[in-house]
Amino acid sequence: MSQSLKILRDGERVAKASFVTLLAIGIAELLTGFFSHSLTLTTDGADSLSDALISLIVWAGLRVAKKAPDDRFHFGYLRVESLAALMASVGMVIVATVFIYLAYLRLLNPREISYPSLVLTVFLVAGAISLYRALQMRRLAKNSNLLSLKTDAYNSVKDATASFVGFSVVLVLVAVNFPVLDAIGSIIMSVYIYTVAYVSIRESSYVLLDAFNSPEVVEEVKRIIEGGYRAKVDSVRLRRVGPLTEGVIRVVADGKTTLDEIVEVRARMKADLSREIDGLGRLTISFHTSKEGDPDGL
C-alpha cells in the first residue's frame, strides 16, 4: 500500500467516526435546546449537525481521492480532497449566517431558559467529547497534511471551544438572570464559526490555485541538491496535491556531465529528497547546462 493511500484511508476512518459522533451530539443538543428554549444550545446543536455534514463531505472526498488515474483525470483525484475542504467551509458560513439572524430575533424577544441544569450538563458532555475528538483529529491532520482533515480538525477545536463558551454564557445567565445573554452567546459562536471558515476557505483556495506557502521546503530542496551534487538549482516549483507535495525542479549541471550520469544523478537526487522531506510525491527534475539552455531540459 502506498503512503498516500494509507494516509487517505486513515483520514477516511477518522472522518467517518467524526460524522457519527457529531451527529449524536447535534441531535442531543437540538432536542435539549428545543425543550429548554436555549438558543445558545440550539446554535451549538445545529453547528454540530452542520459539522457532521462537513465530516460527511470530507469522508466522501477522501473516498473519491483514493481512485486511480483514468482517461479523464490523468493525474488522479487527489485534488477532490481540497475541493471537499472548500465545500465544507462554505457550509460553515451558511450555518453561521442563519444563526446570526436567529440571534438577532432573540435579542428583540428574549426568553428565559428552562431546565438550566440540564442545559449546562449537555454543554459539558458535548464539550468533553468534542475536545477528545479534536485532539485525535489534529494529531492525524498534522501527520497526514491533508487539507480536508485539517478543516475537520479546525471544526473539532471550534466545537469544543463553542460548547465551553456556551456553558459559561448559560452559567452567567442563570446567575444574573439576564435572558439576553442567550442570544449574545449564539452570536459569539456564529462569529467564531466565521473565523474558522475564513481560514479554511483561504487555505483550500490556495491549494486549488496551485499556490505553495512553505518556503522552508523550497530552501530544503535547494540545500539537499546543491550541498550534495555538482549542480546549482535554478528554480523550484512545488504544489500541494492531497497529502503530497509535487513539482518541477530545474537544475543547472556541469556541461561535461554525460546522459548516463544525468540519469543516475537524477535518481539519487529523488531518493535523497524523498528521504529528507516528508510527503513528496511526483518530482520532475530537469537538467540544463546553463540557464539559457533548452527549456525542456533532460
Residue 296 lies in a domain: no
Last residue in a domain, options 208, 223, 258? 208
- pLDDT at site 293: 47
Q: Is residue 185 helix, strand or coil?
A: helix
Domains identified in the chain, total number? 2
**Is the same domain home to 228 and 160?**
no
Instruction: Report, as ranges of residue numbers, the positions in the chain whose pLDDT lies below 70.
Output: 1-5, 143-148, 151, 242-243, 254-258, 290-298
Last residue in a domain, options 208, 224, 245? 208
pTM: 0.69
Q: Which residues contact 151 (CB under 8 A, 6 or more apart)?
A: 54, 58, 85, 88, 89, 200, 203, 204
Residue 277 lies in a domain: yes
**Is the same domain home to 231 and 199?**
no
**Is the same domain home to 128 and 75?**
yes
SS3 sequence, 256-273? Answer: CCCHHHHHHHHHHHHHHH
Cell digits of residue 147? 487539507
**Is the same domain home to 15 and 138?**
yes
Residue 38 lies in a domain: yes
**Is the same domain home to 120 and 267?**
no
**Is the same domain home to 168 and 219?**
no
**Is the same domain home to 196 and 235?**
no
Q: What span, in angstroms and rounded, lies between the C-alpha atoms of 286 and 32?
A: 62
Q: What span, in angstroms and rounded, lies between the C-alpha atoms of 196 and 57?
A: 17
- pLDDT at site 27: 92
Which CATH number does the domain housing residue 255 bear?
A: 3.30.70.1350
Residue 297 lies in a domain: no
Last residue in a domain, options 158, 184, 208? 208
The C-alpha torsion from 249 through 273 and 143 to 15, rounded to 10°, is: 50
- pLDDT at site 106: 83
Residue 294 lies in a domain: no
Q: Is residue 35 helix, strand or coil?
A: helix
Question: Which residues form the domain of 27?
Answer: 3-208
**Is the same domain home to 68 and 44?**
yes
In this structure, how many other beta carbons lie within 10 angstroms of the beta carbon of residue 271?
Answer: 10
**Is the same domain home to 18 and 55?**
yes
Could you list the beta-strand ranges (E) of the chain: 231-241, 244-253, 280-288
**Is the same domain home to 197 and 245?**
no
**Is the same domain home to 173 and 203?**
yes
